[in-house]
Structure 1
Amino acid sequence: MTPQPTPARIVEPNGEVRVGWFDRPFVYPNLQDARPQHALAGLHGGPFQGLEKRFRRWRLKQWQYGSVVTDSTLFACAVVDVGYLGSAFAYVVNRHTGERFEWAAKQPLSQRVAVAQSSIKGTSRFERRNWGHIDIHNHPDNHQRVVSVRLHGELGAVPKPPLRVELRIFDDPQHIQPIVVVEQSAPKLWLYTHKSYGLLVEGSLQCGTIQQRLQCGDGLAGFDYNRGYRQRRTWWNWAAASGRTNDGTIVGFNLTAHRPWTTQGSQRNTPPDAADCGFWLDGTLTKLSRVDFAYNPDSLLEPWHIFDADGLVDLHFAPEGKRSEHTHAGIVTSLFHQPYGHFTGTLSARAGRKVTLENVYGVTEQHYALW
């Protein structure tokens, strides 16, 4: 598989949507100019096209996620806008003690919620009074992402300290080839994805007894940007991690499967190179068309096995805990489970390089959404 040169836009003036794997991020992923299929699509071009445009905006699902792993800590945060509802979360895991602190908030109609319109510039932000804010700034000039988090602590039966995070993530495409894909999840429904794992990071993280100041190389980061139109009912499994092998190789992976976990079957009807699936060895990407997840969906803290048909990926995941969040907000339902723990196994590049992972820390995910 070879990536295509990235054009100026995803949606051409004639309405054509460019689908596939691309070598660089789109400066402006203009999927809002597409004509997706939805319940009010027939109103386009008529006297009620304003209503159609507003409904189309509500059907646009987008988020930006970041994570950092050190020898002692896992940190993750996200800003999410699904049109009808905005949300954000952050959590910190002390890898030595197993202690976890988490924050989550929602905003009806995505008020005071913004996801950057580009994966390489602009700011994703969630803010709520008496809760705090999460900012993810994307800087195109120096290929950096600055994560700034200020979240309040809580008193009570289960006290929670405040969270203060200032991180600078280095994501230069000259040093690491990102996964950049446009895929068609269903007829007239398109998704843009930009992801990188195994990124260098520096900064600080403060949460109770966790007081970390990271020099470049003390931890590794991951970045995940999604923007597009999804089916009303959506399932996926996901696994991601950043770490080092015993010989010092920096590894990262982003592995996905989009189908109900209660059945076996093919991934979405999209070209194999357009799947948002792959792994990195010292910044070099091996692109994958699909992987399989073998696990017990009714008992997520049992072991997982993640593999592909070509033998390039063979990973076992041992969960240590999980973050879960269930949302039932009228027309929106989300059943989200994100176990965290250790990956062991092998990653084999097509060029012949093979590495062994021992206790690389990361996450898996089971997510069902009706949105």
Structure 2
Amino acid sequence: MDGMFEMYLEGSIEPDDIPNTREPVYILGKKYNAVQELDIIRQDILSKVWFTYRKNFVPIGGDEGLTTDKGWGCMLRCGQMVLAQALISLHLGRDWMWEPETKDSTYLKILGKFMDKRQAPFSIHQIAMMGVSENKEVGQWFGPNTVAQVLKKLVKYDEWSSLAIHIALDNALVVSDIREMCLSCESPEGSGSLKCEKGDWKPLLLIVPLRLGLQDINPIYVSGLKKCFQFKQSLGVIGGKPNLALYFIGCVGDEVIYLDPHTTQKSGSVENKETEEEIELDCTYHCKYASRINILSMDPSVAVCFFCSTESDFNDLCHSIKRDLIEPEKQPLFEIAYEKPKQWTPTLDDAVEAADFELTGDFDSEHEFEIL
């Protein structure tokens, strides 16, 4: 991947990122015409924050710790991309576009939260160290649910965004649980919750971990997965192809469009983007050309993501899920319930990490996104 990235930069090969087709192209809920809007599609993709492997950063876990995440950090980087896009949508709007000259203070503040240093709240350092609480040692592969659980813990420390993360367990979206979380506030003492004033809603990053097959995606799920990219609340899919974590941001026909973290770049800090070095470094957080693969080539372990800035967004998403994902599909991706079923046994915080897919039987970790 590193060599391919360098060839793109040098312009020695023609990109094959978006096909010349009349089929609609969807990028995080926005519909495009590939023939008439290719430049706009590419600008939209370029505006997504792209996190990749980095090298020569401050050691993780002390002076003897790791100074690169090459070979183990791709799922962590995909988690960063999802969270960064949620913050961009929240603070700048879904239609915000990045350009090399961009020096927007809000954008730079968001980007700064992900820099490769211990103090940054969503750095590779913070995610890797918080992963220890999820039984993942530093340098060990994460599954899609593990990175979601870690991000859920870390966002609680970002008062500026006041973002809530809900992870739907057992293929079920429980509306009452989400509403209770997004319409409540932490008490000053942290000893419970206080109801917010009417109309207050914590912006929601909703993550639905799924297993869509054993070793390959079951074709029965393809239609539903493609529809997820079409919802206006779409924040893409954390997933990959066997042994490689990828961030899927859209689809066209039977192919999915993704950002690939498997490029190793130097570490640094963009800060206020005042020096030439900082300007150049900012450009390394944006991918000029996305990639695509057939949807059936995806690993069946995925986490579908949505962002609801307002209560109205969430209500609309629930309606869309019921109308487009559940009612017409023979085998829905997941179910939606307004109250927790009586037979429900796990709690939201204490449940077994079902979405890292600790399946019973003869399944090894090679198909569970846990390769070291």
The answer, yes or no, to whether TM exceeds 0.5 is: no
Which structure features the higher share of helix residues? 2
Larger RCO of the pair (alpha carbons < 8 Å, separation 6+): 2
Which structure features the higher share of strand residues? 1
